[in-house]
Chain A
Amino acid sequence: DIVMTQSPDSLAVSLGERATINCKSSQSVFYNSNNKNYLTWYQQKPGQPPKLLIYWASTRESGVPDRFSGSGSGTDFTLTISSLQAEDVAVYYCQQYYSTPYTFGQGTKLEIK
C-alpha cells in the first residue's frame, strides 16, 4: 500500500498570510504514460463530507477559489493557500489514486493564529 504522510499535523496561520501543507507518498504516484500525478486534495469542515479542491496534483476543481493551489510531482506535494481567509479553517487531506487501496494522508488541521 502507498502510505501518505502529511506535515504538519496542525497549522496556525494569520488571516491574509500564506498556508502551506505538505504531503509525501511512500512511492511515486506519477504515471509516465500520461505525465500525470495521481494526487488529490480535499478540505473538510466539521460535520461535513470532504470537498474536492485539487486533482492531478495541481488542477483546481471548478468553483474552488484561486487562492488554493497544488504543486509537486512524484512523491512530494504541496497545497498552498495564498492568503488565508476565515472560511478556510478546516482539515485538509491528500489522497493518492495511483493504485488501490486508495490512501489518504492523516490530515492537517488549519486554524487561525
Chain B
Amino acid sequence: EVQLVESGGDLVQPGGSLRLSCTASGFTFSTYWMHWVRQVPGKGLAWVSRINTDGSSTTYADSVKGRFTISRDNAKNTLYLQMNSLRVEDTAIYYCGRPLGGGGSIVAFDIWGQGTLVTVSS
C-alpha cells in the first residue's frame, strides 16, 4: 500500500525548534519530488516547501524561508522538515504530500499523510 506517515508534531514554545518526519512506503520514494503542506485546524491549506529527488534543490514559502529546512534521506525513505524560530502562526497540521507523476510538473498531490499537529504556544 502506498503510504506516507508523518511524525514529530508537538507543543513547543515560541522561538523553539521541532523536526518533523514523513516516512514513505509502497512506492519508490527516491524518484518523487516531495512537499510539505500545512493547515491551521478548521482553516485552509498552505503550501510550505518542496524538495527534488536527490535533495539538491529546495523551495520555500516566504512565510517560512530562513526558518524551516526541508531535507530527505532516500536510503530511509524519509522526508524531514526542520522548523526553527517557531512562531504562534506556525501552529497547524503539517502534511507531507506526494505529487502525481513524481517529477516537478504535475504538483497535484495524489498521496497525503494523515498529518502531524504542531502547536506553538507559551
Contact = CB atoms under 8 A, between A and B. Distances in A.
How extensive is the interface on chain B, given as a class?
20 to 34
A102 B112 contact: no
A104 B109 contact: no
DSSP majority for the A interface?
A: loop
How extensive is the interface on chain A, given as a class?
20 to 34
B32 interface: no
Contact of A50 (B45, B46, B107): B45
A93 B95 CA distance: 15
Contacts of A93: 44-45
Given A55-B100, A95-B45, A107-B44, A102 B107 contact: yes
Given A49-B95, A107-B44, A97 B115 contact: no
Interface of B: 35, 44-47, 50, 59, 61-62, 95, 100, 106-110, 112-115
